[in-house]
Chain A
Amino acid sequence: AQRVTQPEKLLSVFKGAPVELKCNYSYSGSPELFWYVQYSRQRLQLLLRHISRESIKGFTADLNKGETSFHLKKPFAQEEDSAMYYCALKKNRDDKIIFGKGTRLHILP
């Protein structure tokens, strides 16, 4: 069965430092990967999709099929990046999205 693992429950990073939120998945096929973010008192929202190869709010994520990873990265953390981040996987385009347990990112001033 497919699974998404986010090994860090909490990640604290100083403002201006690089950020890397780890995500590993298990699925033998070609998955679609997503990152969702939930800011304080806001609803869960899509941050980026691997299929779009986009950069949103300075964040990027590269799908590494060899390492089955989809880590989220940002070169310089900002205080407004503090939020809960969820990595998610879809095994094909008409299937459900499976979420990891999430990592809370705390940006220190």
Chain B
Amino acid sequence: ETGVTQSPTHLIKTRGQQVTLRCSSQSGHNTVSWYQQALGQGPQFIFQYYREEENGRGNFPPRFSGLQFPNYSSELNVNALELDDSALYLCASSPAIQGLRAISYGYTFGSGTRLTVV
């Protein structure tokens, strides 16, 4: 069983550029969530994907977008990068809700992608 893997681990981009971050979810997990963690802050929810559709979104502008693929891997895209987008971007996966009795799970996190915008 593999955990959550993210790529790349580090990235430097220039203001105004676009970036794509990638995530492979843990085996058996089909829900993927993306978080932004600025220095000294807790992770902030960006959005969640379930069955290839967005299933909830945090307070982030539309230039933050995502995709989930049939194999449950996911991408986070950020357009028109701003200096404040510099942060650690975390991907987390969790199992699907099962049947009428929803099972509560925590998330399994990846190690993150450190994005620096200059």
Which A residues are within 8 Å of any B CB, using their own CB? 4, 6, 32, 34, 36, 43-46, 49, 51, 86, 90, 93-102
Contacts and interface: CB of A to CB of B under 8 A. Distances in A.
A49 B106 contact: yes
Contact of B109 (A34, A45, A51, A95): A45
Nearest to B41: A101
Nearest to B102: A93
B41 to A, nearest CB: 6
A96 B48 contact: yes
Interface string B31-72: 001010000111111001000000110100000000000000
B43 A44 contact: yes
Task: Rank and list the top 4 A-B pairs by shortest CB-CB distance, nearest first.
Answer: A46-B106, A93-B102, A99-B42, A44-B109
Interface of B: 33, 35, 40-45, 48, 55-56, 58, 90, 92, 97, 102-104, 106-112
Given A32-B104, A34-B106, A95 B42 contact: no
A39 B108 CA distance: 15
Nearest to B44: A99
